[in-house]
Amino acid sequence: MLKNRIEDLSLFGGRSAFEQTLHVGRPNIGNREKLLARFNDMLDRNWLTNNGPFVHDFEERVANLLGVKHCVAMCNGTVALEIAARALNLKGEVIIPSFTFISTAHCLQWQEITPVFCDVDPETYTIDPARIEELITPRTTGIIGVHLWGRTCRVDEIEAIAGRHNLRLLFDASHSFCCSHRERMVGSFGCAETFSFHATKFINTFEGGAVVTNDDRLAEKMRLMKNFGFAGMDNVIYIGTNGKMSEISAAMGISSLEEIDHFISINRRNYYTYKSSLAGWPGFKVMAYEDSEKNNFQYVVLEIDEHKAGISRDDLITVLHAEGVRARRYFYPGCHKMEPYRSYFPHAGLLLPVTERLVNRVLCMPTGTDVGIEDIANICDLIKFITRHADSIRAQLSAARRGR
Ligand code: T4K
């Protein structure tokens, strides 16, 4: 692993630092015996989907954990967003951050609702309440805030804006399961909040998601919508789709929930290992979590100041990937620079200076139960080595690019 000269870097002919690639989103697998026992129960029951007992159990556990009245489990986080948006009667234009996974925008455009991109707060990376009101038009019907990477939105200010303008408020909490805001669990803010339980999330159901809400009527409407609008056999009373979570997914979800403290403690340990290893290293800031809040520590996000670090985020990632460190540029280049939005709104970036800066600076690092503290110490040593040799690395990379 030890690198002494830049020729030792894998990119320039050396051996890669890690034999096994390290990933950002390696799934956490709970207790395998208990999980397999649940799969067997399911097979014995011969009940595989359509509101089975595991789905009920999973929904109840999630609602209890978050202190919210209803959890409606879904087949994934994107469908959860689509159904929530539809059940809330969102139309026309909806204000969202561009600095998010593409689903937050697509869930709207898929239903011909226009996402209007708002800039984010440079500290929390979440939608900036000070920039929302200038985007409201007579066509605006709602706001979707994203609690990015477990950092919650400035909920009170956004709720006040939504109240003043009679807008519906939804939160995409895909990253923020088991996080809190002002000591209240994420899940009961706005009209509803959505989660993703995709394989890469710290609690996973293979594919899965949920909408949680305290609104009885909204919950009922979403239950109909995720099941084609069926209210009992042969009786469709609403337009719906197929958004159901399967039993095998719910079984995985229950097993994951049983390990939640373990997963969080590993994530926390990993986060603090990165934080202490990179403390004071010029040009590197590790995204902070608030000590007073609950967090899942699912993401370790570095913000890199190219001028102080001597190397750009993109050159760094090129070197890291070659070494087997699959850090990710979430959420580059921003939704407004992806199709169809970049064709629809070619000048959207003019109103998104913070987003445009962040998409070129942030890097999500490998973590989760598959990544040990020795791996992290080695990754941080590697980063330090790279920045110490930044000038020569940059020179070699640009020579290689010119020669291409
Ligand atoms: N809103 C927000 C804010 C979101 O971040 C997301 C999803 C959603 C909504 C929508 O929720 P879902 O509909 O997905 O439930 C991944 C996930 O697919 C996506 O769920 C997640 N956000 C997003 C942030 O990341 P990709 O395209 O980066 O995934 P992929 O396949 O590159 O995997 C990431 C890493 O994980 C890779 O390095 C490999 C590793 N991996 C992945 C899988 C699936 C494994 O080691 N094993 C696996 O089984 O999107």
pLDDT of residue 1: 60
Q: CA–CA separation, 262 vs 240, rounded Å?
A: 38
Whether residue 342 lies inside any domain: the answer is: no
pLDDT surpassing 90 at residue 25: no
Q: How many domains does the chain fold into?
A: 2
Please check whether residue 398 lies inside any domain of the structure: yes
Establish whether residue 82 lines the binding site of ligand 1, counting it when its CB lies within 6 angstroms of any ligand atom: no
Tell which one of 74, 200, 296 to mutate to probe ligand 1, the residue whose CB is within 8 A of the most ligand atoms: 200
Same domain as 61, residue 13? no
Residue closest by Cα to atom 47 of ligand 1? 26
Element (H, E) at 336: none
104 lines ligand 1 (CB under 6 A): yes
E-assigned strand segments in 232-366 = 284-286, 300-304, 325-326, 362-365
- Residue written as token pair 């939504």: 162
Could you tell me the distance, in angstroms and rounded to a whole number, from the CA of residue 330 to the centre of ligand 1?
A: 10
Asked whether residue 176 falls in the same domain as residue 222, the answer is: yes
Q: SS3 of 32, please?
A: helix
**Residues 153 and 228 occupy one common structural domain:** yes
**300-304, strands of its sheet edge to edge:** 284-286, 300-304, 362-365
Q: Is 228 left (phi over 0), alpha (psi -120 to 50) or beta?
A: left
SS3 state at 355 = helix
> Rounded to whole angstroms, what are the CA distances from 386 to 14, 72, 210, 296, 389?
14, 47, 41, 30, 5
Average pLDDT over residues 382-394: 95
| pLDDT tens per residue across span 302-313 | 999 999 999 999
| Residue ranges making up the domain that contains 14 | 6-26+260-327+366-402
Residue 300 β-bridge partners: 365
**Residue 352 in domain:** no
Assigned token pair, 399: 């020579």
Using one digit for the tens of pLDDT, what is the confidence trace for 181-227?
999 999 999 999 999 999 999 999 999 999 999 999 999 999 999 99
Distance between CA 325 and CA 283 in Å, rounded? 19
- Token look-up 């455009």 returns 109
Name which of 39, 81, 384 is nearest 206 in CA terms: 39
Has this prediction a pTM greater than 0.95? yes
